[in-house]
Structure 1
Amino acid sequence: MEFPVLKNDRLLRAARGEEVDRVPIWVMRQAGRYLPEFRELRSKHGFFSICQNPELAAEASLQPIRRFDLDACIIFSDILVIPQALGMTVEMLPGVGPVLPEPLVSSDDIYKLDVTADITKKLSYVGEAIRITRHKLDGKVPLIGFSGAPWTLMGYMIEGRGSKTLAKAKAWLYQDPNASKHLLKVITNSVVDYLVMQACAGAQLLQVFESSGEHLGPELFKDYALPYIKDISSRVKGRVNELGLDYIPMTIFVKGGHYALEDLAESGYDVIGLDWTIDPVEARQKVGSRVTLQGNLDPCALYAPEEDLRRYIKEMVKKFGKSHYIANLGHGIYPDMNPDRVAALIDAVHEA
């Protein structure tokens, strides 16, 4: 498939550990509610209606690229399209967020999932959105595709919504390890197919979000998250290679996963995303120069006066160093954030 020639490859070069002329930056959840243009789009269309309409998803993806001097675009979608493709209902409720009204209650409920679903076909709208976005970007910056990681998706599928403890999902790990691993394998297979489809559609970097890693300690992570994270990177990269596609770097982001950095450095990913709870110097000491690091400004720091914000960013970049580094927040941008603060963040990274 022919796409416009890429003009800015900083992100991809940094992800591969190559030299760059300046630190690349993109922002998790950069396409979303903090932008007035997105709120205007959202006032006319439901959340998942935007996700499932390739033209609208492309428009949402491109909005921050038109406004800011970013080094990457990320496709507008949601991690919960995987449970949807497996036959679960997912609704986006105002003031609540995503809700799965019929969550998995017991291991028997696993057999209600459509485990034979053709993920490539069911989520083809994401692939079409990627193709449209690549063309409309006209090579300005690379396009990132993504998926939720198996443990994070399992949590939503059992809890039925976001949770501060994930107690129901963690109970499965302790009470029924075999069923838990079976479910995680089902989800893993879907994630692999989904990411390969995104690569075929034109995604140039793939990020896996283990957003619920903070709910697992070292032992549970090694049993119920790490094996599936590693399986995803191995199988996706293998299939991308078999298909003759250009090398596609992969990023793993484990929120609260400071305890797993050494293991993540050996998990087959090119980039490790960090949240704001770990010092970059400590992180680099743990992973060495084997991988690129991404992150990790506290999203709340964007509320700070601009002079303070610029100081925080300068210190962050100094700690990470300008090699093997991609600047980002330590988690997604908050929906009430003033877009001017994002502009200040980007300018400060460029100046650091």
Structure 2
Amino acid sequence: MASFPPLKNNLILRAARGEKVERPPMWVMRQAGRYLPEYHKVRAGHDFFEMCRTPEIASTITLQPIERYEDLDAAIIFSDILVIPQAMGMVVEMVEKKGPHFPEPLETPEDLAKLKRLGEGCDVKKELGYVFEALTLTRQKLAGRVPLLGFIGAPWTLMAYMIEGGGSKTFTKAKSWLFKYPEDSQKLLQDITDVAVEFLAQQVVAGAQMVQVFDSWAGELSPVEFAEFSLPYLRQISKRVPERLAELGQEQVPMTVFAKGAWYALDALCDSGYNVVGLDWTHDPAEARKIANGRVTLQGNMDPNVLYGGKEAIDKAVKRIVEGFGGGKQGYIVNLGHGVTPGVKPEDLGFFLRKNHEYGSA
């Protein structure tokens, strides 16, 4: 088991556990990535998944925003949610200006036989060892400056990619499976969940101090389908990961769930076993606080596109959101309502962080 330097800034861990803090901690989704010029210098000459699979490169990219922004209170490992389908035997490519592409997506339930399952061809420690190496290396390089976050894609979101073959505007193929083949859909979701649980637990072994589950396509489901095909598996993950960590002799870590677009499920998500519930920008902060009623810490939720609006717009939005979360000194983690987009100017994100620090410390 790796030995790591002592943590100097545990603000986000305390906030995630519901403790009162001196100011709300800050990090942003996709903080290590395409909006940073230093990222593009590293990216030149490398395939996206090659960077994910090269621990030294992944570690370097993870640290770039930490080196640039002194206000960040967490680093999140540079990786991708689609490494789980890869570990299950699917080919995933990252196509420039298009996004992820599966040359051979799942078309019928018969295709499930092609997948590797946990303990049946899918050895998580072997298939995803590069992620664990990157986590351990990054944790050492951080030298305790801030905690390191790990993450996974949620089962429904991964299933959608695996069937659609990439991103989609309609999700016709993936949602057709839910209606045509509900039992086979549940089987696939369970197989993904089993891999996800082990992957997340091993990320903690490797050095992750907090983890997040991204259900990026949750909002494509109706409340009925979300309750049947997403929420049960999110609940499994929140229950089984701590159990697996106990088996591995590991300390427990805070867990976050982010179900983008599933505004209707906030009450259920607050009871789904996670310490933190991430909010997209469709939530009103004050209303979300009422619904949560102290059960969880809330995270979010400024629209990332406000970052294109200039300093006045950013200032106004940050002030409104911090006030909406009651000042943010208990039960709140600063973030955007989704990831930083590629065209954002780094200095505008820096201004967003500084204003949150200013208003959150008041």
2:172 to 167, 177, 194: 167
Counterpart for residue 201 of structure 1: 206
Secondary structure at 1:28's aligned position in 2? coil
Counterpart for residue 136 of structure 2: 131
Could you tell me how far 1:121 is from its partner in structure 2?
1.4
2:266 to 261, 273, 292: 261
1:149 to 135, 145, 154: 154
**CA offset digits 1:74-101 (Å, max 9, x no partner):** 0000000000001100001111011001
Counterpart for residue 81 of structure 1: 83
Counterpart Cα distance in 1 of 2:344 and 2:266? 30
Aligned-pair identity (%):
54
Could you tell me how far 1:72 is from its partner in structure 2?
0.3
Secondary structure at 2:258's aligned position in 1? strand
Counterpart for residue 349 of structure 2: 342
Could you tell me how far 1:243 is from its partner in structure 2?
2.5
Counterpart Cα distance in 2 of 1:243 and 1:188? 18
Could you tell me how far 1:44 is from its partner in structure 2?
2.4
Could you tell me how far 1:242 is from its partner in structure 2?
2.9
1:101 to 100, 103, 115: 103
Could you tell me how far 1:247 is from its partner in structure 2?
2.1
Matches within 5 A, 1:178-217: 178-217=183-222
Is 1:289 the counterpart of 2:294 in the alignment?
A: yes
Counterpart for residue 16 of structure 2: 15
Structure 2 unaligned regions, length at least 5: none
Counterpart Cα distance in 1 of 2:20 and 2:144? 20
1:345 maps to a residue whose letter is F
1:113 to 106, 112, 115: 115
Counterpart for residue 335 of structure 2: 328
2:77 maps to a residue whose letter is I
Is 1:225 the counterpart of 2:241 in the alignment?
A: no
Kept in 1: contact 2:198–2:244 (CA 8 A): no
Could you tell me how far 1:282 is from its partner in structure 2?
1.3
**CA offset digits 1:202-225 (Å, max 9, x no partner):** 100010000001100111001000
1:19 maps to a residue whose letter is K
Could you tell me how far 1:62 is from its partner in structure 2?
0.4
Secondary structure at 1:333's aligned position in 2? coil
**CA offset digits 1:118-145 (Å, max 9, x no partner):** 1121001000000000000000000000
Counterpart Cα distance in 1 of 2:242 and 2:251? 10
1:228 maps to a residue whose letter is Y
Structure 1 unaligned regions, length at least 5: none
Counterpart for residue 56 of structure 1: 57
Could you tell me how far 1:30 is from its partner in structure 2?
0.3
Could you tell me how far 1:257 is from its partner in structure 2?
1.1
Counterpart Cα distance in 2 of 1:31 and 1:313? 21
**CA offset digits 1:110-169 (Å, max 9, x no partner):** 111112211121001000000000000000000000000000000000000101121110
Counterpart for residue 122 of structure 1: 127
Could you tell me how far 1:171 is from its partner in structure 2?
0.4
Could you tell me how far 1:287 is from its partner in structure 2?
1.6
Secondary structure at 2:152's aligned position in 1? strand
Counterpart Cα distance in 1 of 2:184 and 2:252? 35
Is 1:26 the counterpart of 2:33 in the alignment?
A: no
2:91 maps to a residue whose letter is T
Runs of 4+ in 1 over 2 A off after TM superposition: 241-244
Secondary structure at 1:136's aligned position in 2? helix
Matched positions, count? 352
Counterpart Cα distance in 1 of 2:262 and 2:291? 13
Root mean square deviation, CA, Å: 0.7
